[in-house]
Structure 1
Amino acid sequence: MLEVEARNLEFVEPFVDLKIKITDGMLLLVIGLLYGGVLVGLFYSLLGEGFSRGLLHGFLLGMYIGLLSYIVIYFNNQNVLPKIKQVLLWWVVWGILSFVVGLFGFLLAFKTLLLFKVKVPVFLTQKEKFLIASLSTGILTYLTGLMVYQFVRMRNRKEAIERITLEANYKLTLRMLNAHFLSNSLHTLLELMDMNKEVLECYVKHLVNYQRRALTSPKIIPLKEEISMVNSYVFIEKIRKGRDIVFTTDVDENLENEPIPALILQPIIENAIQHGLPEDKSKHFEISISAKRNGQYIILCVLNNGNPISNFQPGIGLSLLAKKLESQGGKLILKSKNPPCFMVKLPILSIKGYKIAYESSNSR
């Protein structure tokens, strides 16, 4: 007998450690200002040059180091580190670049003081001591950068784990609901076997398409695939309920291949059919989806001509969907109660980010 050992699994998407935000740039600038100002101020004070004078010089040094750090880190994380597979080499690159940032930040601050004819301490005019001061600044910048990197790394991983947990809960809920939906769909299938063969074939085709996409779709899919799944869902519900349900789309051709999170339209469509379908069976029920681009966002609108919304209380499906969209930087908005209309606002994913997310989701 052979005991099967659990291998280490990495559930966090690739390169999550390298994601840096604008707020991180502000953090680097604040740390640079405070750290540089206080440190240089104390150093000047020990040399009898005055704390306030050193504080101002330190602020200038911290500003240069903070700005350079953000620029270098952003470029490094986008273009250099993703090409390096060994994490150990990341530390080497980080160390070298952090040291260089500190060194150049010191030189820029010193040159700026000379340019504006600001008096500098005597020891900085001595070549040997100037070299020691600049090298020391580089080393301290590396140590500070290391702490900032660990903070950003832990925050990014925490956010990634929260997104994964939310995604798992979202998919689990959909699959539990899908089991009930599948049971009802199969019952309808049995009833259709003695009816129109053409309708039966079309029903089976849409049922297979919907189930395959609902159970096996990666986390990120093209918009046209999401709409294809929704179209199949609406057709199945149309046959099951024996109602005149019309499904229309108005999607810009340039957006059809835009990547979006999977399974974000189906809960809205399900909610529309469940609560909006008129009691009068002679009335046709129409659901339309429109998609357009607004700046750096994709705007999806799901509109129906059914029962107006009175007291809106989102259920589990819509609540989880709202959280899922928030984790992706998007929003779920109730645009109108009469006629009922939900709007999904999503940031446009970069092609690079799409490939990483698609490959990551397919590898699991």
Structure 2
Amino acid sequence: MKKYNIAIVGATGLVGQTFLQVLEERDFPIKNLYLMASSRSAGKILNYRGQDLVVEELNENSFDKNIDIALFSAGGDTSKKFSPIAASKGVIVIDNSSAFRMDDEVPLIVPEVNPEAVWNHKGIIANPNCSTIQSVVPLKVLDEKYKIKRIVYSTYQAVSGSGLAGIKDLENGLKGLPAENYPHQIAGNCLPHIDVFLDNGNTKEEQKMIDETKKILRKDVRVTATCVRVPVLHSHSVSVNIEFEKEFDIKQVREDMASVKGLIIQDDVKNNIYPMAINSKGKDEVFVGRIRRDESVESGINLWVVADNIRKGAATNTIQIAELLIEK
């Protein structure tokens, strides 16, 4: 089997460290692994398959070496600066930031949904927002069969979506200490405020879900979102309300979604079985439950969608994209 030279940019962050874990779990064929981060983290030692690797400082010359694929999770500004440099030297970049997601020249990929789009890249591929990823996994098959007219998202997003700083705020808040990352205390609270507010009243996180869903599914689908940070460490939950153009049978809808690779139905309310954040932590699948008809519209349905935001919502999805590349 051919092996590849892989770089991880942002290796010391929460997603970067999860890259290492997922690469090992999935036995990705690596020849050389290069770990990169800012000057603050350069020199740190991370372990991969029992081998200690030194984190090097990211700079303009980092991609002069032979690298096949670079996995970026170091923030939008870093991606904007260094992704084009890497791509210019023949490296395929898979970027976790929002820097290139809405660029028409950059494919936005969820492997269970639009794997064919990966070959439209010009050196850079974008990983969608974590909440978008888990939401579109069940939506794709439903759109194909019943044509989605409108989507209403309400998210319940874990603090790990803010990285180590978000986790620290929750842990400190439980001790009675003030927030440092969020504008208000997150412990015992819900914040309807993720990322900055835009002129239209949406937060940037809400606008991401709206725009990215349209790019992945169809540009003419109507989407709205309210994104809320909740005092949960890991895994995002999303209430998804969907209105279809065509009529549907609820039993068939369950079967449609159950046929999707990487999606697990957990929907036995008589026995209190439904997806929960606490049970999805550390898993790569998307879990769907509370599947029921929305009787307020002619052809509507409600779903409850849960996934580990650091794995399927970030690291695992990125590595699945890399796997698509090496399959060819």
Query: Taking structure 2 as the reference length, what is the TM-score of the superposition?
Result: 0.29
Higher strand share: 2
Question: Which is higher, the Rg of structure 1 or of structure 2?
Answer: 1
Query: Taking structure 1 as the reference length, what is the TM-score of the superposition?
Result: 0.27
Greater RCO (Cα-Cα under 8 Å, separation 6 or more): 2
